[in-house]
Amino acid sequence: MAGIGYDDTPMIPGQDWRVHDGKRPQPRIVTPPAVSTQEKAGCPPSDAAVLFDGTDTAKWVGRDGSAVGWKVKNDYMEVVPKTGNIQTIDAFGDCHLHVEWAAPVDVKGESQGRGNSGVFLLGLYEIQVLDCYDNPTYADGLTASIYGQFPPLVNACRKPGEWQTYDIYFYSAHFDGDKVVKPTYITVIQNGLPVHIHKECLGPTGHRNAPAYKPHAPTGPIVLQDHGDLVRYRNIWIRKMTDYDEQ
Ligand code: MG
In this prediction, residue 64 carries a pLDDT of: 86
In this prediction, residue 247 carries a pLDDT of: 54
In angstroms, what is the span from residue 22 Cα to ligand 1's centroid? 49
Distance CA 57, CA 55 (A): 7
In this prediction, residue 142 carries a pLDDT of: 98
In this prediction, residue 63 carries a pLDDT of: 83
In this prediction, residue 244 carries a pLDDT of: 76
In this prediction, residue 245 carries a pLDDT of: 67
Q: Are 232 and 102 in contact (CB under 8 A)?
A: yes
Q: Are 143 and 168 in contact (CB under 8 A)?
A: no
In angstroms, what is the span from residue 80 Cα to ligand 1's centroid? 15
Q: Say if residue 131 is exposed, middle or buried (CB neighbours under 10 Å; 0-12, 13-18, 19+).
A: buried
In this prediction, residue 1 carries a pLDDT of: 46
In angstroms, what is the span from residue 55 Cα to ligand 1's centroid? 25
In this prediction, residue 230 carries a pLDDT of: 98
Q: Which residues pair with 182 in a beta bridge?
A: 174
Question: Splitting the chain (247 residues) into consecutive groups of 10 residues, what average pLDDT does each group show?
Answer: 86 97 93 97 97 98 94 97 98 98 97 98 98 98 98 98 98 97 98 98 97 98 98 98 73
Judge: domain 49-240, CATH 2.60.120.560.
yes
In angstroms, what is the span from residue 144 Cα to ligand 1's centroid? 10
In this prediction, residue 239 carries a pLDDT of: 98
In angstroms, what is the span from residue 83 Cα to ligand 1's centroid? 15
Domain ranges of the chain: 1-29, 49-240
Distance CA 184, CA 201 (A): 5
